[in-house]
Amino acid sequence: MTDPTDPTATGRLTSLVRGTLTFDVYDEGPVDGEPVLLLHGFPERSTCWRLVAPQLHAAGYRTVAMDQRGYSRGARPPGRRAYRMRELLADVLALAEAVAPEGKVHVVGHDWGAIPAWLLAAHHPDRVATLTAVSVPHPLVFMKAMVRSTQLLHSWYMLAFQVPLLPERLLGSRVADRLVASFGMTEQDAERFRAEVVADGALPTALNWYRAMALEDPRLLRRSVTVPTTMVWSDGDVAVDRWGPAHTDAWVDAPFRFVELHGVSHWVPTHAPDRLVAAILDRVRPTPAAS
């Protein structure tokens, strides 16, 4: 007899197994609702969606958030090669296939989580109904922004993270409090970072997302997105310059909308959840606004 209290018996995902890796998955909301994948960035885990997900549930959507590679305790392979974009893409594709074996999913990605979201929409449009990218633009546009805007100055920390061991030591100390505060994190945000990333042992492998950047094949990025897309960016973002998000439409061959949030930091899901949910719902509903 099926146990109705067993999450797997009710169509819920509690984990995702890909090869030797096991990812923690948080499957909530109406089980028969259209699925929305929520992909977190650095240095956060799926709890960054805690203020967004309930509002999507109230609107009738099912949310599936995954602690990504380097963050889930069962998915922390050593070495930066394991964190190339092709692997990040394969993880998210496996999640989409597990959630909707014969259908499509809506995808929302913030910060680093936007990168596999962009790649999934570009390389597997048959799996994606809509895309909402938060803070980070199409990866090829982000690269162009390095020379077309002040993005390189905003991205100084990406270079600093390439230094072995030192970032782990600094971010694992109280120096991190001042650093994350300079990027707009609140004390509550910093506490989550210390508990969920540093104390849990995820910091070294989370940094591998940055350290794998030098190993990327740029051909993976040279593909337009052909699904309806919304780009959300906030003018208080000290990590991402406006140029990239504002020029992302050049790589979207589908209905596109650029949403600029005023007075909001980089941490949109936790600092402006209501406005982000409004942008997501405007995109995922059957007749989304298009520019």
Q: What pLDDT does 11 receive?
A: 80
Amino acid identity, residue 175? V
- Residue 179: its pLDDT value, please? 81
Residue 4's pLDDT is 38
Distance CA 186, CA 180 (A): 8
In a domain, 53, yes or no: yes
**Residue 209 included in any domain:** no
Token code pair at residue 240: 């991402």
- State how many domains the chain has: 1
pLDDT at 5: 38
pLDDT at 122: 98
Element counts in the chain: helices (H) and strands (E): 13, 8
289 falls within a domain = no
Find the domain containing 25 and state its range: 7-155+219-284
In a domain, 201, yes or no: no
For residue 113, is it within any domain?
yes
Distance of CA 22 to the CA centre of its chain: 18
206 lies in some domain: no
Pair type for strands 229-236 and 128-134: parallel
In which residue ranges of the chain is pLDDT below 70?
1-10, 287-291
Whole-structure pTM over 0.85, yes or no? yes
Domain contains 88: yes
Q: 195 lies in a domain?
A: no
Query: 143: domain CATH number?
Result: 3.40.50.1820
State how far the alpha carbon of 22 is from the alpha carbons of 91, 94, 160, in Å.
10, 12, 30
Nearest to 63 by CA among 31, 28, 14: 28
